[in-house]
Structure 1
């Protein structure tokens, strides 16, 4: 998670008053942070990914103002048209199709703020942008540019400019090869015939999204007006990033001016800071928080966390959520904010009315046995998210699409469905850690969800175990031995048969079925378990899709009856 560094002086200046250090340290965890370290002058604070609006000092103090009673309710940011346009090249539709832009006038940047701004930008790249794959942000010195602007698909060999941290102009293709950011992010655009480029009306190049900005527009302590561009593959995420960074500038005194983005078939004025409307039930809040609440109290708590709230009845509260709050998707999110406004430390605790004797859950008992076996064979456990996306689950694994549980309002393009397999999660992990030493041996025990028309809920939760090994000589014999050892250590008998699986090399995959186990459980006696699954060598295309360079062997089994 992103770690934000700032001083007590930064907070006091942004608040407009001095807050005692011990009070600040005590309050920050109550708004969703974890204090990593602090001394007499500085704080190092970690914020959760669901609140990227807290990744700047201005965002943090905006929330603190509400908690301290300095300013309550939803902040209002006035915008006015700049008269500037950004024209989007239709050829970008298959490369990086979306952009949102704005101008902020009257900014004041010193050396410390410049560093904080760069950190803020990179944190947003990581959390919202998925390391620039989905969103990339450019912040430019507007005073050296002449609008209007063009977002175009450019020939990588005929266009050139002086990029940040370089001493001479180079072509777009050369920048990918020679610049450290170019080498790091080349995989995002190098497969296309043309690369994204942003220019002003005089042909000056602002940036080459999502790689690097031009040296011409770099910020300095003399900068007073900035042009912000956000480009990406997900329009919703692009707009979210712009809203967060623009309102952060506004908190520091900047004036936001909108830019008209012109696509081939439509025009959009950005940023759109229209708040979202929700409703929350007082009764539901009481039930989940465990405290007796009235409608006026709920309204006051919501205003304390910088939301607009008004009671329409004794139970129904209308809430307006500002555009920079991308974490609020459902009533339960509002109830969480009510609890924050109430104060977690003020929520009472009580013992249950009945006495209970705890014992280990049967499912956990079996899972722990699996973990002991896998770690005993030298595997490291990973825990991935239940949510994934179609690209990783189907296309990268060479699987045909089928019925799955979709997320109605995904906050991220990377998390649009509930997983049906553990293997793609293991491959994502290996991809992220390909710079580490080999061999790598990892496993995961977790739930997957299938569509099931035979049940009332139409879904079925299944427990699975998956393991993967990567190194230069990984092969079918190795994964067969690993699977066999795992099965035997669990006291199982297994049957093996040939299997053709799209994710694996033909002839190097085997199925496992009809396996039963008798395990000793101290509470329930004997328990019958059935295991079905497969193992083998992953197909070279799958390995390439996850940008791996060495063979990968893997297995996945499903447990029934536990």
Structure 2
């Protein structure tokens, strides 16, 4: 779940009242959120880097709030406050308005056909006559970063660019060029660089180096120019310094480029709905005309409202409650889903605002009704169907083994189910292609690239971390491993399924021998690349 850090004083000021930490924790729970931690910038730095590095850091109290991964509207202070205020019925949900300028007076973004080879989609909007303060500006930048890490999938699907519109001139052109043809001054740099030089410049940057792989092997790099040839950005890497925004910026040009059009529209809607609050006319956004390579035009942002109908009895049945249709409509309205009863009370019509991209199905509406009603207010009932639970034989066997091994003086280890490719291949003297390993598509670190196919790496790491402990080290582990099974297919996935195994086989017994247990139950020898020839065995079962 994403975590939003907000200053307590700013939060309470925006909410119009103060809370104790316990009261705010309860409010978060009622709204379906979780107050993860009450801390400060100084405490965070002290924990991560040591007390010496925290000198001079702020002691301002921060609330770290966990929000659902699909609630993009809660990833900033503005959206969080708006949601809580509507939930407590202190304000009405604002209505977001798209203003389309007269023909020839608005901004235009032209997409060329070259972008199809690298990042084919782009949308844009203008926040006109916006007023920034230091806190608003910081929140604006932080929201972009939160979106990049969340729905944008680390800029792989969408990259956001925000520019001071008064420093550039439309129409704007989104195209793709050979790296050697692109030259501009990157954000916060003092000189111009070519695109290859920019890639080299940020190769050691702790933040931007993670995004270089998205385009560095492409023959063309995406780039956005204004009508004077000024580079706005080279997505998804860096914006140009010429159009950077600051506290004095009054008009912001927001562009989102990417490989997923749906996500790009959601991201644009989220940014403009959150910060149009600070425009001269609140909650209004100036539209931008986007011209596609085929000549067709679209107006963005969409800021689309749509309506859904749900039967009251459906909500009551799913939640086990008996609320009236009008009461259910009121609950949904508190969750930023403006609702009213239609007909003879047979339906509830819900208006889904552009901020609630997470509402996809009727079950999402039922979930919001449950949150507003209060999970603790739902009465617990005995299930109408009685069933008798029974332990799986495999689990029963492993529990018996755990008891016996513990009685024999062994300590159980619990290691990570994910590991690096080297752990299960190179370090065990085998090739990764022969391991039937399940690979993580987007690993966060080199330590967690694949699901383990054997328990050996985890226990070896445990031994390595405890070398100073007196011998013998009597360790064991009984856990799951993951291997591909080409003969199995999961109907819900278009690819092959993975078969889980509880490890109660040769891997399991090999550890006993490795740790020094007497192999009284080992009758057969087996060979493995990671073990010395003749010194491994397999258990007899049956």
Structure 1 residue corresponding to 2:500, chosen from 464, 475, 489: 464
Matches of 1:196 and 1:122, distance apart in 2: 20
Contact 1:422/1:464, CA 8 A, preserved across alignment? no
Aligned to 1:30: 30
Q: What CA deviation, in whole Å up to 9, does each residue of 1:112-149 have, x standing for no partner?
A: 22222222111100111111111111111112111111
Aligned to 1:386: none
Aligned to 2:364: 333
Q: What CA deviation, in whole Å up to 9, does each residue of 1:44-63 have, x standing for no partner?
A: 21212121210111111121
Aligned to 1:450: 489
The worse-fitting range, judged by mean Cα deviation, of 104-113 and 197-206 is 104-113
Aligned-pair distance for 1:23? 3.8
Aligned to 2:317: 287
Aligned-pair distance for 1:103? 0.1
Aligned-pair distance for 1:324? 1.9
SS of residue matched to 2:5: strand
SS of residue matched to 1:261: strand
Structure 2 residue corresponding to 1:381, chosen from 409, 412, 417: 417
Contact 1:35/1:43, CA 8 A, preserved across alignment? yes
Matches of 1:368 and 1:87, distance apart in 2: 65
SS of residue matched to 2:303: coil
Aligned to 2:376: 345
* Larger strand share, 1 or 2: 1
SS of residue matched to 2:179: coil
Are 1:236 and 2:272 an aligned pair? no
Aligned to 2:355: 324
Counterparts in 2 of 1:34 and 1:59: CA distance versus 1, 3 Å:
same
TM-score, length of structure 2 as denominator length: 0.71
Counterparts in 2 of 1:214 and 1:352: CA distance versus 1, 3 Å:
same
Counterparts in 2 of 1:371 and 1:95: CA distance versus 1, 3 Å:
farther
Aligned to 2:121: 98
Aligned to 2:466: none
Aligned-pair distance for 1:378? 7.9
Aligned to 1:263: 292
Contact 1:36/1:45, CA 8 A, preserved across alignment? yes
Matches of 1:452 and 1:494, distance apart in 2: 39
- RMSD after superposition: 4.2
SS of residue matched to 1:380: coil
Q: What CA deviation, in whole Å up to 9, does each residue of 1:501-526 have, x standing for no partner?
A: xxxxxxxxxxxxxx9965xxxxxxxx
Counterparts in 2 of 1:330 and 1:371: CA distance versus 1, 3 Å:
farther
SS of residue matched to 2:100: strand
Contact 1:141/1:217, CA 8 A, preserved across alignment? yes
Contact 1:162/1:170, CA 8 A, preserved across alignment? yes
Aligned-pair distance for 1:202? 1.2
TM-score, length of structure 1 as denominator length: 0.69
Counterparts in 2 of 1:64 and 1:182: CA distance versus 1, 3 Å:
closer
Aligned-pair distance for 1:323? 1.6
Q: What CA deviation, in whole Å up to 9, does each residue of 1:47-88 have, x standing for no partner?
A: 12121210111111121121111224x531111124111001
Instruction: Flag structure 2 segments of 5+ consecutive residues without an equivalent.
Output: 40-59, 406-410, 420-431, 450-455, 460-478, 514-518, 527-538
SS of residue matched to 2:242: helix
Aligned-pair distance for 1:267? 1.6
Counterparts in 2 of 1:263 and 1:483: CA distance versus 1, 3 Å:
farther
- Count how many residue pairs are aligned between Structure 1 and Structure 2: 445
Matches of 1:338 and 1:369, distance apart in 2: 45
Are 1:165 and 2:191 an aligned pair? no
